[in-house]
Structure formats: structure tokens, C-alpha cells
Chains A and B, each alone.
Chain A
Amino acid sequence: MALAPPRGSPLARAGGVVFALTRVAFAAAVAYRSQFIVWILATNTPLVMLALWSSVSREAPFGQFGQRAFVAYFLVTLVVRLLTGTWVVWEMNAEIKDGTLSQRLLRPVHPFLAYAVDNLAAVPLRALVSLPVALVVVATVARSELTRDPVVWLAVPFAVLGAWLVSFAVMLAIGALGLFWESSIALWDLWFSFYFVFSGYLFPLAFFPSWLGRWVALSPFPYTLSFPVEATLGRVPRDALLSGLGAQWAYALGFLALALWLWRRGLVRYAAYGG
């Protein structure tokens, strides 16, 4: 298919570019669907945790969570995780190492934008997969466990988008660090191990002792997962929701600024080795 070069005002041109990139990225996502399905299947931790915690709560509720609450919590966690997952740090790392980053640099689009489009184009497919999980939630536990506040529902999409943006920006920053340091992926491992424990992926953050919970709440990790999940479950009151969204987006923009700064500094050093 031939893509006509975008014409007209700068804004229309930018729109055209994004549209074209999205089409390509979506086609790629569909083409590599088997890889995609494997990734979905590999995101099974919430289901294992669901098994663990519902076995724990079978006799008596654990903290504020009964068995139904755990079911709701981990299924919503699975949906949010599927929707907000991103892998850009691996992509950047590979491209920097084998020199294919050069091709990306030649294009008249900021690579960050291209990466973002790449990632977001997979969202329709992910939504398709999340749909059955979401339907199970609605069919089984929605009535008692999900929030019924329309204001919260209005905020949830922003919280989910913000969660994606925080993870994406952190990945960009660590990916850009790859321009300086060969083993930068280790830093991602480190971040991910923190994410594992402090984002609410393995258990609701309320289970932390209060002295630790206070620190965790200040960190960026809850905003990548637990915040949208707990909002959906009606566990975040309205006023906390607003300040939470503010903090989340502040983290996202902060990391994005850091990533841009590192990228600009790093590109100077980039020499397209390999190739």
C-alpha cells in the first residue's frame, strides 16, 4: 500500500503521520498475533495470585478483603495490566545494540512518538482480550465490588492512561540510558522487581504495615497499577482520586522529561555500532 506524503498545515501533517504510523503498527500487531497471545498467556500472575489469596480467604476474610473482593481485585488487576503493558525498553535496547536505531533516527518523526504509537496500536487487540475477563467481573462480582460513583467511572480511563504513561515514560528513560550504558536493562529489572511488590500486583497495598505503606504511597509504583484498580473497586474516595490523578500525571510528565533529557544527551554519543 502506498502512503501519500502528508500535506497541508503542520498540525494536519502531524495528524497524517500519526495516522499512518498507527496503521502500520496495528498491522504489525495483527501480523504478530501469535507472539501477542503468548504475551497474554504469560501475564498469568494475577490469576495465580487470585488462586492464592482466595484460598487464604476461604475460611475468613484477610484484612478488608473477602473472597469476592479478591476475585474482583485480581481480575481488574489483570485487565489493567493487559491494557497498560508496554515493552518499549526491550525494543530500544535491541535497536541501540544492533544499530537499527539509525533507521528510526532518519525518519522525520520523534522516535518517542513512534514508540508510543507502536505501543498504543496494540491496545485494541489487548482490549479484545481483556473483554472476556471484564465480562466475568461484571457477571460475577460487579454488583457488590465495583464502584457505582459516576464521577469515579469518569476518572478511571484517565487513571488507566496515566498508569500506562508512567510505565512507558520510565521505560523510555531506562531505554535512553542504554545509549550510555550497555547493561541498562538491569536497571529495568530492578524497577520491575520493585513494581512487582509495590504496585499491588501481588496483593492489595493495604496489606503493608502502615509505616511501609506510607512510603509506598509516595512512590510512583502504585500509580502504575494499584491506583486505577482500587479506583475501579471504589476504594479511592473522590477527593483522594483527584489528588491521586494529579500525582500520577506529575510522575508521568516528570519521567517523560527525564527520558527526553537523557535521550538528547545520549544521542550525541550514539555511534550506530553493529549495523
Chain B
Amino acid sequence: MTRYLRLLRVQLRTSLLLAMQYRFEFFLDGFMSVFWTASALVPLLVLFGSRTSVAGWTWPEALLVVAAFTTLKGVLDGAIQPSLGSVVEHVRKGTLDFILLKPVDAQFMVSTARFEPWRGSDAWLGLLLFGWAFHALGRGPSWGGVACATALLAAAVAILYSISILVISLAFFVVKVDNLIYLFVSVYDAARWPASIFRGVLAFLFTFVVPLAVMTTYPALALLGRLSSGRAAGALLGAAAFAWLARRVWMRSIGHYTSAGG
């Protein structure tokens, strides 16, 4: 275990050193995140400019969902995507050999290969949005709510990571999957809206196939004190099941890897 912790520290340090070389990118990415976050708020502002509630959500409540979305987006962009994106490249070029040969778990190695702290600036913006939302609500969350929401956000990170692993695993079977990641990110975009606006097919899709509702709406509900403990437990269990599934699929897929030129 300590071996892996040490390894993680080394990997983090390399990523950080790499990132320090691109200071300009930092400002650019930071600027762009502020911009994207602001532009994502525009439809909400337009909407709540003439309505007080939509599908049972008021403006500050919906803002909480956006905050959860933005925080997770930061984790996705800064920690999950950069690492796992490189796996696709490794599989295509056959350089995954070098990772598989190392005497440590390959999934751990590829998952920690690259962090891009600059791209994670959304995570901080998300926390700011949480603050703004509670300011607009005029009251703070309960301690229990915060604890529950934190657990749910951690579960959401696990789900995001697991889905990414599942997508990456496809790289062992299909050649072009880098745009599948792009597809997943575009689907994730729908998580910025409270889940109750979706009905029919989309509601089913976003609860069970890609559990967007669990990722952003549940933490917001927990902060508002409206999430039943049963549903919270269900979400945590679901995330654990997802992670287990991803691990199994990854192990299976690695078996399919045929090295260089494949």
C-alpha cells in the first residue's frame, strides 16, 4: 500500500513539473473555465429571469446542481481525462507494453499517469458557485448535509472514473475511441440541469445508463436536506458496483491486448 502511495506521489510530482512548464496555458485555461462556466449559466439566468421555479427547482437550488456539475467537471478535466486519454494512444501505438511490464498494477499506473492541475480550475469555480448558491438561499447547509454531499460527490468521481475506464477498455477492441471520450463528455454536459426536467427515455438513460442524476442532482438534494437516506445509500452502493464492474471489464480487456501494431 505504501508502495502505491509513494508511486502516486512520484506520478503527481512529474505531472506538476510538466504543468509548471506551461504557465501560459494555466492562465489561458483558467480564463476559459471562467468563461465556459459563465456561458453555461446564461440559460439559467434567462430561464429564472422570468420564472421562479422550473420542475420544482428555484434559482439557488438549480445553482447548486450547476456547482456540483462544475466541480466534477474540474475533476474530470484535470485528473481523469488526461490520464486515461493517453491509454488510447498507448494501445494504438503498442506502447502499453512498457506499462504492462512494470511490476505494479497497470490500471493504477495508467490512471495516475497524468494530472493537469491547470485544467482542473473548474473544481475551484464549482466551490465558489456552491457559496453563491447558499448566499442566494440565505441559509447554510446542515453538517449532515455537507457530509452526505461530500460522500456523494466522491461517489460521483468514482462513477466518472469507472465510466471512463469502461470507455477506455473499448480501445482494446475498437481502434478509434478517442472520440468516444468526447461523446461521454458531451453526454455529461446534460448533468448541469436538475434531473427532474428530463422525462421518458432521457430520464431512464440519465438515471440508469449514465447516472447523471446521481452525480449532480443527488449532492444538491443532500445539501438542501431533501435526499432520503435510502436513496443516498443506493447511490453509494451503485457507485461501488460501477467501480467493481469497471475493474472486471478492464482486467478482461487487458487480456485482449495484442501489443505493437495491433
Contact = CB atoms under 8 A, between A and B. Distances in A.
Interface of A: 32, 34-35, 38-39, 41-45, 47-49, 51-52, 55-56, 62-63, 183, 186, 189-190, 193-194, 196-197, 202-203, 207-209
B43 A186 contact: no
Interface residues of B, number: 31
B18 interface: no
B54 interface: yes
Nearest to B55: A55
A38 B182 contact: yes
5 contacts: A42-B182, A52-B43, A190-B32, A197-B42, A207-B46
A62 B51 contact: yes
A39 B186 CA distance: 10
B59 interface: no
A62 B50 contact: yes
Contact of B176 (A34, A43, A49, A52): A34
B32 to A, nearest CB: 5
Contacts of A38: 179-180, 182-183
B174 interface: yes
B39 interface: yes
Q: Secondary structure at chain B's binding surface: helix, strand, loop or mixed?
A: helix
Q: Secondary structure at chain A's binding surface: helix, strand, loop or mixed?
A: helix
Interface of B: 24-25, 28, 32, 35-36, 39, 42-43, 46-47, 49-51, 54-55, 174, 176, 179-180, 182-183, 186-187, 189-190, 193, 197-199, 202
Given A38-B180, A44-B187, A62-B51, A203 B197 contact: no
Contacts of B183: 38, 41-42
A197 B198 CA distance: 21
Nearest to A36: B179
Contacts of B43: 49, 52, 202-203
A24 to B, nearest CB: 19
Nearest to A39: B179
A52 B190 CA distance: 10
Contact of B42 (A32, A49, A189, A202): A202
